[in-house]
Each structure stands twice: as structure tokens, then as C-alpha cells.
Amino acid sequence: MPIEEHLNKIKQGVDAWNQWREENPETVPDLSQADIRGCQLQKINLSNTDLKEAKLQYSNLTGATLEKADLNKAKLLETNLQSTNMKSTNLSGAGLLESNLQFADLENANLEGAQLNEGTIFNQTNLKGAQLKDATGLTKNQINLCQVDSHTDLPDYLEEELDDDFLLQF
């Protein structure tokens, strides 16, 4: 359950939240299981925040900082995460159906078991070192639009598809 003070602070808006974060750098905000659906949270600082099982559907988090946040099993249906910093963020088991991840930085993020679909938008998304084991709904075309490296752990079904395409080149 979220800490009431933290939930009230985020409902005051991005400016109030970001100022509070600057004034309280040692505080680890707890918004676990919070219902903040449909909020305008552009450029909000949610780094190191506990957002486990939070409801963020239909929210706008464009340009937000979610670095090292815990979004385990968070609901992010149709959430705008464009240009967000999500380095080393835990998105395991998160629902990202129809979400916009264009230009997002997910380097070293944990997306194990995340739910994605062909409506999840990837374009120049940084997935270097990201863990996507058991993630569902990803396509080869989506991965082709992303930045990946040898440390990116793709789902087995996708690696097989990419291996088949590689062999067809010969």
C-alpha cells in the first residue's frame, strides 16, 4: 500500500513532487499499489520509487525519470513512456500493452515476464543489457527498431525467429 503522504504529494502535481524529491533526497517514495491512472506526469522524478503493482494506465510520463524504480507488476496499459529514463528499472511482470516506449532508455532494465503486444510502440528504444526473458508479445520488427547489444536477453521465441532469419541470409 502507498504511503498516504507520498500519494497526496504526487496528486499535487509534478512541480510539487519534484521539489519535494529535491528537498528529501534520502526518502524512498512508496507508491506501491497506488491508483494514479490517467495522470499528467511529464518530466516527473520517480527514480528509486516503489511503484510495485501501481495503476498507471493512460498516464503521460513523457520525459520522466524512472531510473531504478520498481514497477514490478505495474499496470501501464496505453501509458506514454516516450523519452523516459528507465535505466535499471524493474518492469518484471508489468503490463505494457499499447504503451509508447519511443526513445525510452531501458538500458539494463528487467522486463522479465512483461506483457507487450504489437501495439507497444518501439522506436530507437535503448534495450542494451535489458532482460526480456519470458516477456510476451514482442515481435522481431519491434526489436529491429531498438538498440540492443550482446547483453540483451531476448525471449526464447524471438531468439529462434532471429536465428532463422540469420540462417536464411546464406
pLDDT tens digits, 91-150: 999 999 999 999 999 999 999 999 999 999 999 999 999 999 999 999 999 999 999 999
pLDDT tens digits, 20-78: 999 999 999 999 999 999 999 999 999 999 999 999 999 999 999 999 999 999 999 99
Averaged confidence pLDDT in the chain = 93
pTM: predicted TM-score of the whole model, two decimal places:
0.91
Portion of the chain with pLDDT greater than 70, in percent: 93
Contact in structure between 50 and 73 (CB atoms under 8 Å): no
* Cα distance between residue 46 and residue 14, in whole Å: 10
CATH 3.40.50.1980 fits 1-170, yes or no: no
